[in-house]
Amino acid sequence: MFSYKKMMSIDIRIIYLVTTIAIMFPMFRPMGLPVAADPPAVELYRVISELPEGTPIIYSFDVGASGTTELKPASIVMLDLSLQKKHKIIIMGWNAEGPNLMNAWCGHLFEQHGSVYGVDYINIGYVAAAYSWLELSRIDLRNSWNDRDYLGTPLDQFPIMEGIYKPSDITAVCSIGTGDPGYMHWMQQWYATGEVDIILAAQPGVNVPIALTQFNSGNIKGLSGGLVGAATLELCHGIVGSAHGNSDAQSFGHMAIIAFLILGNIGYLGAKRAGEVK
């Protein structure tokens, strides 16, 4: 026999099961639900896409594993775009995990584009003591990198490093980070001193409020913030990737919770009218 009281007291195991399925399914099979484009992320994509062929750009992976969900899809789009535009890509990181995460997230892109190490891109690796490094880099950029890549090969042996001796030889810096040090230090030490005009940032959602003030003031020229920013980059790039999948998961999870709340309230009102509850 139908009972409103049962509607208002759905077994918690059913709630967990349905919510889990609602969240997990789109993570593995992105639905591509509409995403409202985030203007700072659109601007970041535009800036990178308009940099001329051969532009030297540093991608600084100042990121830890905690940033994977929000920053991996953004990193894939930005590097893929730079490879399409044939920029000179210099990889480094102020977090010891950063350059290794770059290889795990984006290593396949270099193979897909047929990029040649040392010609199209180079990996400097982990750079310790960010604050001291920034001071030294403005005097002698190559020496601040110990004049070697992450494998210990002298930079003079790589064609990509021709003409790159000081920060002003770099056109843009994109900091993909989860904390300190990060884009603020590039902004203070290279942008504010007139060394580099274009600082870009990709940040997790928790850091967006502060980063957004720097974007609005013009100190950083583009910003990918959280899943919304990453999904916007995928939208601009014409792909449906993990940022869309995770955004879909959030939406489906919220819809499942709202559905159970509605059912519970209908059950309560129905049970009250039927005299099942006081």
Q: Is the peptide bond before 181 cis (omega within 30 degrees of 0)?
A: yes
Predicted local distance difference test score (pLDDT) of residue 249: 62
Judged by DSSP in three states, 247 sits in helix
Domains of the chain, residue spans: 4-30+246-273, 39-239
Q: What is the dihedral of CA 81, 84, 90, 95, to 10 degrees?
A: 30
Predicted local distance difference test score (pLDDT) of residue 68: 87
Predicted local distance difference test score (pLDDT) of residue 74: 94
Q: What is the CATH number of domain 39-239?
A: 3.40.50
Predicted local distance difference test score (pLDDT) of residue 267: 77
pTM as predicted: 0.81
- List average pLDDT for each run of 10 residues in the chain, which is 278 residues long: 68 81 72 78 97 97 88 95 97 90 91 96 93 91 94 96 95 92 92 95 93 95 92 88 63 75 80 71
Predicted local distance difference test score (pLDDT) of residue 250: 67
Predicted local distance difference test score (pLDDT) of residue 247: 63
Amino acid at 173: V
Residue 74 has a CB neighbour count (10 Å cut-off) of 32
- What are phi and psi for residue 116, nearest 5 degrees? -105, 125
Cα dihedral 101, 174, 62, 176 sign: negative
